[in-house]
Amino acid sequence: MAAITQPKLPPASIAISRPLSPRRHTHLLIPSLPSPPPSMRAAKVRSPFAVRDDSMSSIIADLEMDEEEEDLTEGSGRGLADRWREIHGRDDWAGLLDPMDPLLRSELIRYGEFSQACYDAFDYDPVSRFCGSCKYNRRSFFACLGMADHGYAVTRYLYATSNFNLPNFFRTSRAGAKTWSQKANWIGYIAVSDDEASARIGRRDIVVAWRGTVTRLEWIADLMDFLRPVAEVGIPCPDSAVKVESGFADLYTDKDPTCRFCKYSAREQVITEVRKLVEHYAGAKGEEVSISVTGHSLGSALAMLSAYDIAEMGLTRVEGKAEPLPVAVFSFSGPRVGNARFKERFEEGVGIKAIRVVNVHDTVPKVPGILFNERIPAAIRRMAEGLPWSYSHVGVELALDHKWSPFLKDTGDPSCFHNLEAHLHLLDGYHGKGHRFVLASARDPALVNKACDFLKDHHMVPPFWRQDENKGMTRAHDGRWVQRNLHEIDDHPEDTPYLLRRLGLKDHH
């Protein structure tokens, strides 16, 4: 077992790790032992608390940070409350990615966990009559997922209808007429930070989190690959040359008036809720507010599109404030969304910041626009701008490589390369180009195998291990085993029609 150096701490204490939650470990301060001489520190002597065994915790201990690789206060000495605008992308994350800023890493993982929550809470079991819904009530959402310490509360669930051509996104139940809905799927949520969390992070944060596809990646080959002007789908862009992929636009804007859950489009659900929260916190209460949009895979495309819509609709403008509210997208393994004019309007016209976390071996960030994209020479790109298959990524890319991690095995399975938990694991170990892969927060590597088979076999973590206890079956009062029953499925707030009218949108319901 490799030896480790004592981490840099105040003289009166040293740190040992103990499990706190399924997502990460924390540090417990105890009285210090005498410091080893410099020569021993250089040799990376084993901590006296290290245990020689083959458990996952001992493997993590072997890879904990040493004093040469990370100091959480190095460079600024300020916390998130002081630096949140910088971490939120004010300067396009210049100087924060290489070497990796510890606060930025922590925030990227946090927003990635908001995205991961969309998968963990989604009912994708076809034998469940609630297949396609969220497994938890909105008011207990984060508590049920072990994320209560994040300090956010869900204010609205988001739904979409199945009237679009993107396979493997919409899940249906075999229960027939007994299912909760035959036309809707739960696709995400909107949440806001509570008072305690807002004080800790320096502002009131509104989060829009989108779900991606839940299993295989057939949808990549089925992208309609047809660019459509955003003005055609109702987004009030003054430039008709600004275009987005039509499948993403349809998913975002389609609705079904006959369905209780998708009688409003995902777009209408988002802009009305964001408008209400902005008016309450930034307008009425005068607080500093940020809007953070996150998603993985297809959810990343929805994150880009909805963030752009929020800004283009003017929802970031608050009476009495000179500057618009900052909007940032935290994207994980997302495809291209629009053309070069969309990129220009996104970044310069409405001023959205976006950071894209990708695995260089993943296929999804390379589509659509395999032939004509932002990577080709400028002269060719200008000639191809009018083509219907010329796409461009937006924002700043943070490229990771799963081959850096000693935990992950060599596999040819593209779903592993695309897995969100694997991306969060890579973020935890990334410190910059040329730096050794070392876990910064001891985030549990076992999480990688929740929905894939990516960890090396000797770690003894079963693949695809996450499931509900007894697969959601509970024992009724008469002793019979039955499926769990959702007493209430949240749909839409009663003030949605009023807010749509205020936004100048027609309400047909």
Q: Token digits for 1?
A: 């077992």
Q: How far apart are CA 9 and CA 29, in angstroms?
A: 10
Q: Where are the beta strands (DSSP E) in 238-370?
A: 243-245, 289-296, 327-332, 353-359
CB contact at 8 A, 181 and 133:
yes
Q: What is the largest CA-CA distance in the chain?
A: 76
* pLDDT at position 181: 86
pTM: 0.84
pLDDT at 469: 87
Buried b (16+ CB within 10 A) or exposed e, 463-487: eeeeeeeeebeeeeeeeeeeeeebe
* Nearest of 141, 122, 121, 119 to residue 131 by alpha carbon: 122
Helix axes 266-278, 298-312, angle to 10 degrees: 50
Q: Which residues, 6 or more positions from 343, have their beta carbon under 8 angstroms from its beta carbon?
A: 374, 392, 393, 394
Question: Which long-range contacts link 404-409 to residues 24+ away (Cβ below 8 Å)?
Answer: 404/429, 404/430, 404/437, 405/429, 405/437, 406/63, 406/437, 407/59, 407/445, 407/448, 407/455, 407/456, 407/459, 408/448, 408/454, 408/455, 408/456, 409/454, 409/455, 409/456, 409/457
Query: What size, in residues, is the chain?
Result: 509
Show Cβ contacts of residue 470 under 8 Å, excluding neighbours closer than 6 positions.
481
Q: What is the CA radius of gyration of the chain?
A: 23
Q: What is the pLDDT of residue 374?
A: 76
DSSP string, 296-327: ETHHHHHHHHHHHHHHHTTTT--TT-SSPPPE
How would you classify the pairing of strands 152-161 and 184-193? Answer: antiparallel
Give residue 172's pLDDT: 77
What pLDDT is attached to residue 400?
Answer: 98
Bridge pairing between strands 204-210 and 353-359: unpaired
Tokens of 84: 């949140």
Q: Answer yes or no: are the C-beta atoms of 485 and 473 closer than 8 Å.
A: no
Question: Mean pLDDT in runs of 10 for the chain (509 residues)?
Answer: 41 34 39 36 35 50 46 56 98 97 98 97 89 92 96 97 66 75 92 98 98 69 75 93 92 92 95 98 97 96 98 95 96 95 96 98 90 73 71 96 97 95 98 95 94 96 92 89 79 90 74
SS3 for 92? coil
Structure tokens at 447: 């999480």
Instruction: Provide the pLDDT for residue 29.
Output: 32
Instruction: Provide the 8-state DSSP code for 345.
Output: I
Rounded Cα gap, residues 159 and 122, in angstroms: 12
What's the rounded Cα separation, in Å, for the pair 216 and 194? 36
**Helix, strand, coil percentages in the chain from 3-state DSSP, rounded to 5:** 35, 15, 50
Domains of the chain (ranges; CATH) run 78-400+471-502 (3.40.50.1820)
* Gap between the terminal Cα atoms of the chain: 65
Instruction: Read off the tokens for 242.
Output: 């600004």
pLDDT score at 384 = 66
Catalytic (active-site) positions = 297, 362, 418
User: What is residue 224's predicted lDDT score, i.e. its pLDDT?
Assistant: 55
Question: Which amino acid is it at 190?
Answer: I
pLDDT at 214: 65
